[in-house]
A and B are shown apart, each in its own frame.
Chain A
Amino acid sequence: MSAAALLEAAPSGRLPFAGRTRARRSMARTAFRSLVAHQVSFLFGLLATAFAVLSMLYLWRAVLANGPLHGFDWPHMRAYLLVTFVAGSLVSSYVDYRMAGRILQGDVAMDLVRPVGYQDARFAEALGFGVYELGTGLLVAAVAALAFGGVPGPAPGELGAFVVSALLVMPLRFGIVYMSGLVVFWTQNYIGVQAGRIALVTLCSGALVPIAFFPGWAQDVLTYLPFAGMASTPALVYVGHLAGAEAWRAVAVQAFWVVGLWLLGRALWGAASRQLTVHGG
């Protein structure tokens, strides 16, 4: 059955607004519960992220042992790394992994007949997973901060910009993750696509090394790509490297890409769902 036929077979249109909100909320709740139900896996997953943070902090401690680099001293680098870590733990891999699985298994046909937009529904799920990701991310960051002698607070004048920037991280990351999940409509393999995407986003978002460490031309490019807003921007605002009008300009770039990626995702879905062939039934 082709996707177009499925869409036509779907019950007329979408739910009214109140119903949609309720549907989204319950999808988010289910997504959240599906993660915390498996406690042993949960704890070891937490341990794995803790090790990753540990290795980054030790490495940067050694790098900055002889004094600050590019305006980062060791305490501010700690703060930078932990903010990028928490940002990076949002929309990490659950949404797209599940999407890919359902697309490859053909279960996506069920998603198509539901009276909630596909992208909306995935975003609602991402919010549910996000509660879990934010909680564990903050926990690991707090423990790491304690173990390495605390972190300085956010730059005092930039609190507003920091909060807005931090709020934009989640929808921004969703945009890229959602699109990379849709790629399986063409590739049939997701593990590889996901691994490549995670590596590129981690590097380009400044989560491994601040963008200031890259050569000038790369800095110029990365500042205007959507990736910086996924980790670097809120972290730079936090440590005060982006301040005043500059901070708000970076936040505007973030906001631009949130909208841009959402629209791109919608266009990609349009092309992707026409690719779909579900066998049997």
Chain B
Amino acid sequence: MASAQAVAAPGVLARVRRNAWLYRRCLGAHLRSTLEYEADFWIMSVSAVIAQGVGIVFLWAIFGSIPEINGWTFWDVAMIYALVVLSEGLSVLFAQGAWSMAFTVNLGGFDALLLRPFSPVLQVLSSEIGMNGLGNVALGGALLGVSVAHVDVAWTPATIALFVVLVVSAALVKVGLNTATNAAAFWIKTPWSMFAFSMHTFGELARFPITIYGIGVRLALSVVLPYAFMSYFPAQAVLSTGTAHWLGFLTPLVAVWCLVLGALVFRRGMLRYESAGN
């Protein structure tokens, strides 16, 4: 324990660096163990591409019959859709562990995490690596690339830099919300993440321009659980459409808020954790 304290004592920067290093090491270990099952890797990647590809065929079939929905053309909607797929893929690759919470917490596995000198929430997040993430990232990235080439935006180094920041922030929004919703495991005593899954399904509403929804749904997607900052708002900022496209520039701030929210809910939950009993 003395050595763990000695490591933790130096300043914030050293702590961040140590956490980042441990996070990478944990993910790396899981990546190696996952890659032992090569067939799994391919099945998961291919199925992710099929699952998301179906969504694109769906949009294409609809736009084959009408030029635009609520003023959004096919490539605008494709961009929003691609951002969701990409954020989803990145969160699955780098923070899939959130979805293991229900299982770990309610079957007693969480005890082991509390004994290690590494932040529990980071341990949980880095405890799994989702191989379907790669398929999602590949397809989402490709679709994003193609749609970016088709939309009417003047690309300068500044807009490109902004776009990259927005895409990363969008993924972090998803990671934060996944952490917050999955932390419900501390309150709901089942080994399945049904609550988080239902919220994830709600988040899927952000695959389409949120102007198609009623005001209540729109508010919920922008304020209560701001899934729309994964896709709709960043896309709006880049496309400069809509009356309030500046809202999209807030995406990095919303990402920070979601991550803090995730950490806070996790902390509250951890305080009431009393092991699974033996």
| Interface, chain A (partner B; CB < 8 A) | 38, 40-41, 44-45, 47-49, 51-52, 54-55, 58-59, 61-63, 65-66, 69-70, 187-189, 191-193, 195-196, 198-200, 202-203, 208-209, 213-215
- Whole-angstrom distance between the alpha carbons of A202 and B188 in the complex? 31
What's the nearest-Cβ distance from chain A to residue B33, in Å? 14
B201 touches A (CB below 8 Å): yes
B276 within 8 A of A: no
Contact A200 B54 (CB under 8 A): yes
Q: Pick the contact of A196 from B46, B197, B214 — CB < 8 Å? A: B46
Flag if A55 contacts B54 (CB, 8 Å).
no
Q: Which of B58-66, B143-151, B234-242, B263-271 contacts A (4 or more CB under 8 A)?
A: B58-66
Q: Closest Cβ of chain B: how far from A151's Cβ, in Å? A: 18
Q: Chain B contacts of A49 at CB under 8 A?
A: 201
Within B20-69, the residues touching A (CB, 8 Å) are 37, 39-40, 43-44, 46-48, 50-51, 53-54, 57-58, 61-62, 64-66, 69
Listed by A's residue number, 12 A-B pairs whose Cβ atoms lie within 8 Å are A40-B194, A41-B192, A41-B194, A44-B195, A45-B197, A58-B213, A59-B212, A189-B44, A196-B43, A199-B50, A213-B61, A213-B65
The answer to whether A40 and B205 touch across the interface, beta carbons within 8 angstroms, is: no
Chain A residue contacts of B69, Cβ below 8 A: 59, 62-63
Q: Point out the residue from A40, A54, A193 that lies within 8 Å of B43, measured CB to CB.
A: A193
* Extra contacts besides A48-B197, A59-B69, A215-B64 (5): CB < 8 Å: A48-B201, A58-B217, A66-B66, A187-B43, A191-B132
B192-204 vs A, CB cutoff 8 Å, 1 = contact: the mask equals 1011011011101
- Does B64 lie within 8 Å of A213, measured CB to CB? yes
Q: Quick one: given A195-B51, A196-B51, are A51 and B204 in contact (CB under 8 Å)?
A: yes
Chain B residues lying within 8 Å of A199, measured Cβ to Cβ, are: 47, 50-51, 53-54
Roughly how many angstroms separate A66 CA and B68 CA in the complex, as a whole number? 10
B70, CB-defined interface residue at 8 Å: yes
Contact of B47 among A40, A44, A69, A195 (CB under 8 A): A195
> Once the chains bind, are B37 and A45 in contact (CB under 8 Å)?
no
Residue ID in chain B nearest A195 by CB atoms: B47
Are B44 and A191 within 8 A (Cβ)? yes
Decide yes or no whether B73 CB sits under 8 A from chain A. no
Is B249's beta carbon under 8 Å from chain A?
A: no
Contacts of A192 in B (CB 8 A): 40, 43-44, 46-48, 132
In whole Å, how far is A53's beta carbon from the nearest beta carbon of chain B? Answer: 10
**Is the C-beta of B74 less than 8 angstroms from some C-beta in chain A?**
no
Please name all residues of chain A whose beta carbon is closer than 8 Å to the beta carbon of B46 when the two chains form the complex.
192, 196
Q: Is the CB of B190 within 8 A of A189?
A: no
B46, B48, B69, most chain A CB atoms within 10 A? B69
Q: Contact string, B175-198, partner A, CB cutoff 8 A, digits 1/0?
A: 000000000000010101011011
* Complex contact B190–A40 (CB within 8 A): yes
CB distance from A73 to the nearest CB of B (A): 14
Q: Are A196 and B50 in contact (CB under 8 A)?
A: yes
Which A-B residue pairs are the 6 nearest by beta carbons? A196-B47, A192-B43, A48-B198, A44-B194, A62-B212, A192-B47
Instruction: Tell me the smallest distance from the CB of B214 to a CB of chain A, in Å.
Output: 7
- A58→B44 contact, CB < 8 A: no
A136 to B69, CA, bound (A): 31
In contact, B190 and A41 (Cβ under 8 angstroms): yes
In the complex, the answer to whether B194 meets A187 with C-beta atoms within 8 Å is no
What CA separation (Å) do A157 and B39 show in the bound complex? 51
Q: Which of B40, B195, B197 contacts A188 (CB 8 A)?
A: B40
Residues of the B chain whose Cβ atoms lie less than 8 Å from the Cβ of A47: 198, 201
